[in-house]
Amino acid sequence: MLAAMEASRARATLARTPALSAAQLAALMEAVGGEPQRVFEPRILRALDLAAPARAFLGAPDEAAIAADLAWLEASGALIVLCTDPDYPPQLAQISGAPAALYVLGSVAALAAPQLAIVGSRSPTPTGRHTARAFAAWFARAGLTVTSGLALGIDAAGHEGALEAGGQTVAVCGAGLDRVYPAEHAALAARIRAHGALVAEFPPGSAPRRAHFPLRNRIISGLSLGTLVVEAARRSGSLITARLAAEAGREVFAIPGSIHSPLARGCHQLIKQGAKLVEEAADVISELNFSVPKEPLRKPQSAPPEAAALDNEYEMLLDALGFEPATIDILVARTQLRSESVASMLLILELQGRVAALPGGRFGRIP
């Protein structure tokens, strides 16, 4: 009992040790025959090559902080997973710079599930948000866990899409797990904990510092078989996640967009650099080293359900309308439908809220 408590305290100390790499933690644990409470023996510490801050911390741990960590772990139900534990995520273990320890709220098993990262802009277009959500739902139904960073925008849409499909999702956090960042995602974080996991390498009490986010990003891409970037400006943090994924030998996927849209620039840059261009969720699955289980949660659907309700002529008309406003004359020319038919179909589509009448006798599609 006492030994178990000592082991827990030692694990909390190791998890909080600054500048301790996974390789160093593994060497430490090897040196003590897997008994973490022995790592503080001066003989052990002397024998190993550690960075000065790690040596100093292990030589004289911050007892107050560690006591607070242990209290929070017990109260919250969070777990510490060390890189030497059997349930440390194997994909993450492969990357260079893998974290020595993770704090986890929720399912530790989710971290070992086949994952796809969905990342992107914090202020996406409505279409980008919809795409992230729909793709995430598709991946979840296909049996993939959707991993992201709990940020506003595309990250949140990815988590939500997976949850809505009844799937599993992992959020990698840039702050300690005792605080949800951003705060408005508290309810989302609670759902993620219940249907996946919240994970951080930063000990409880850590603020969401700017420098944390690139570190968080390496865990997002490191946990995942591949990373899909949905919308990203040219200098987006999502491009860091994508670069780290590529460096770790993982697939990078990007969704293209209009050359006039600033939020497509980052994705286009990635495609120019070799990322796979993705038009549908199935494009991702076919590239990944992952096969869809025989009986996925629900049947994967390539299109959002409401699209199926339209009959052919209406679909043709919406296709002809495209994504830029057009006049009835243009639509007649494109569809070969009679102009009276086009006019009445447009009226019905307008009443359904699918099309809007614009100045100059033009009609525009409402996404």
Size of the site for its own copies (CB under 8 A): 42
Task: Point out which span in 17-25, 97-105, 240-248, 352-360 binds its own copies (CB under 8 A).
Answer: 352-360
In the complex, what is the shortest distance from the CB of residue 278 to its own copies, in angstroms, rounded to a whole number?
A: 8
Report DSSP state, residue 107: -
Using the contact rule CB under 8 A, the part of the chain among 3-11, 57-65, 74-82, 357-365 near its own copies is: 357-365
Taking residues 124 to 163 in sequence order and writing x for each that binds its own copies by CB under 8 A, - otherwise, the string is: -xxx---x--------------------------------
Shortest Å, Cβ 224 to its own copies:
21
Q: What is the distance between the alpha carbons of residues 55 and 39, in angstroms, rounded to a whole number?
A: 11
Other residues' Cβ atoms within 10 Å of the Cβ of residue 226:
27
* Bond prior to 293 in cis (omega within 30° of 0): no
For its own copies, which residue of 67, 186, 194, 333 counts as binding (CB under 8 A)?
A: 333
Residues 251-280 touching its own copies, rule: CB under 8 A, are 255-265, 268, 271-272, 276-280
Near its own copies in 3-32, by CB under 8 A:
none
Residues 299-328 that bind its own copies (CB under 8 A): 319-320, 322-326
Q: Which is nearer to its own copies, 21 or 327 (CB)?
A: 327
User: Does the footprint of its own copies cover residue 352 (CB under 8 A)?
Assistant: no
Residue 347 found at the interface with its own copies (CB under 8 A): no
Shortest reach from residue 349's CB to its own copies, in Å: 12
Using the CB atoms, write b or e for 231-268: b if 16+ within 10 Å. Answer: bbbeebbbbbbbbbbbebebbbbbbebeeebebbbbbb
Give the full edge-to-edge strand order of the sheet including 362-365: 326-327, 362-365, 355-358
Q: Which two tokens stand for residue 110?
A: 């989710």
Stretch that binds its own copies, among 1-9, 17-25, 66-74, 119-127 (CB under 8 A): 119-127
d(CA 188, CA 215): 22
Token pair, residue 116, equals 């796809």
- Using CB under 8 A, which of 53, 94, 96, 123 touches its own copies? 123
Angstrom distance (rounded) from CA 293 to CA 169? 17
- 42 closest CA partner among 19, 59, 65, 66: 59
Answer yes or no whether residue 51 interacts with its own copies by CB under 8 A.
no
Subset of 73-102 contacting its own copies (CB under 8 A): none
Question: Judged by CB under 8 A, does residue 182 bind its own copies?
Answer: no
Residue 12 or 188: the one with the smaller Cβ distance to its own copies is 188
Place of tokens 């090897």: 30
Min separation Cβ 340 and its own copies, Å: 21
Confirm if 111 and 222 have CB atoms less than 8 A apart: no
Taking CB under 8 A as the binding criterion, the range among 14-22, 52-60, 118-126, 169-177 that sits at the site for its own copies is: 118-126
Q: Please give the span between the terminal C-alpha atoms of the chain, in angstroms, as a whole number.
A: 60
The answer to whether 109 contacts its own copies (rule: CB under 8 A) is no
Q: Token pair for residue 42?
A: 């001066």
CB of 104 to its own copies, least distance (A): 32
Coil vs helix vs strand at 147: strand
User: CB-wise, 28 or 285, nearer to its own copies?
Assistant: 285
Binding range to its own copies, per CB under 8 A, among 23-31, 196-204, 215-223, 249-257: 249-257
The residue among 53, 2, 58 whose CA lies nearest residue 28 is 58
Sheet order of strands, 251-254 included: 79-82, 101-106, 196-200, 169-172, 145-148, 115-119, 226-229, 251-254, 276-277
Q: Which is nearer to its own copies, 114 or 120 (CB)?
A: 120
Residue 143: closest CA among 169, 119, 120: 169
C-beta of residue 119 within 8 angstroms of C-beta of residue 155: yes
Kind and range of the H or E element at 217?
A: helix 212-223
Under the binding rule (CB under 8 A), the answer on residue 339 touching its own copies is no
Note whether 111 binds its own copies by CB under 8 A.
Answer: no
* Contacting residues toward its own copies, per CB under 8 A: 123, 125-127, 131, 255-265, 268, 271-272, 276-280, 319-320, 322-326, 333-334, 353, 356, 358-360, 362, 364, 366-367
